[in-house]
Amino acid sequence: MVNNRWAKRKGINAERDLINLFWSQTGWCAHRIAGSGSSRYPSPDLIVGNNIRKLAIEVKITSANKKYFTLDEIDGLKDFSRIFGAEPWVAIKFSKSDNKNWFFFTLEDLNETDNSFNISLKDAEMKGLLFEELIK
């Protein structure tokens, strides 16, 4: 229970970190959807936008060198984004890496297996967009 609470707190802090990054940029706003993973309806962790773009973002932080996503997580992000008219994105921070940047991925950038999606730190550094690149 304590471990689960710590993981949840870590995730919430990561989401808030991104909210602050977006709000620090002129013309961008961001909102965190509390309990996004526990609703029966698909919902991303963050909804972000400006007068030109809307982004639906699933946020993850990991101490591992690879992050996995369930099929349901990615399908839910796709469904929400399609209905809402937003671009679906995944944001990942690899906390134990020397590179402390956020990496942003389209769903096509993720590696698909039979029962999950994943992205490694190595792939993140090659394929991922940095925050400054995402908001251009």
Catalytic residue numbers read: 36
5-36 b/e (C-beta count within 10 Å ≥ 16 → b): eeeeeebeebbeebbebbeeeeebebebbeeb
- Report the candidate in 97, 27, 30 with the shortest Cα–Cα distance to residue 59: 30
Cβ neighbors of 110 (< 8 A, separation 6 or more) are 69, 74, 90, 117, 118, 119
